[in-house]
Amino acid sequence: MLSHKLFLKRLAVLMPLVFMLGCKEDNPSEPPPPQCQCVSGPPEITFTHVPVMGSHENLAGCVCNANDHALAVFIKVGDSWWSKPYWASPKTEISDDGSWECDVTTGGLDRSATEFAAYLIPASYDPPLAGGDYTLPAELDSIAVAKAQVKRQ
């Protein structure tokens, strides 16, 4: 027969294991991305997911009230702006439901980006590239029908 002290020691070891097993999630998969909620009005870009500093997650969002458009996405690392996702393919497509996702960690120090910018441009337009520039391409301000910018916390 176990002594009371021995019983309590064993119980103290087993309880955390029992607790962890009992708290297992029923559905470990991630929740679906939020659906775009648009109202009529001017074209608009919103960010639905801004990755945390140091992660490899994608930047994501919604575009409302714009057909036949794409996004030109940029990240700021240090004092420099860079085109994303790639120099050779600097446009991000928009899904039929208005959602979009852009890989913003395709090289270098991208995970330490402090700011993101997205311009809504005509799908047929080839946006100017940023490869370490101190400012975003000024041409985009006259071509884009919407712009969104966010600083990472």
CA dist 22 and 38 (Å) reads 41
For the chain, give the mean pLDDT.
Answer: 84
Strand partners, 60: 49, 101
90 backbone dihedrals φ, ψ, rounded to 5°: -85, 10
Beta strands 99-102 and 59-64 are antiparallel
Beta strands 115-122 and 131-133 are unpaired
**Residue at 146: amino acid letter:** A
Report whether pLDDT(32) > 70. Answer: no
Structure tokens at 75: 């990240």
The reported pTM is: 0.78
One of 2.60.40, 1.10.3470, 1.10.1760, 2.60.200 is the CATH number of 44-151, namely 2.60.40
pLDDT tens digits, residue range 84-130? 999 999 999 999 999 999 999 999 999 999 999 999 999 999 999 99
Tell which residue, 93, 146, 83, has the closest CA to residue 123. Answer: 93
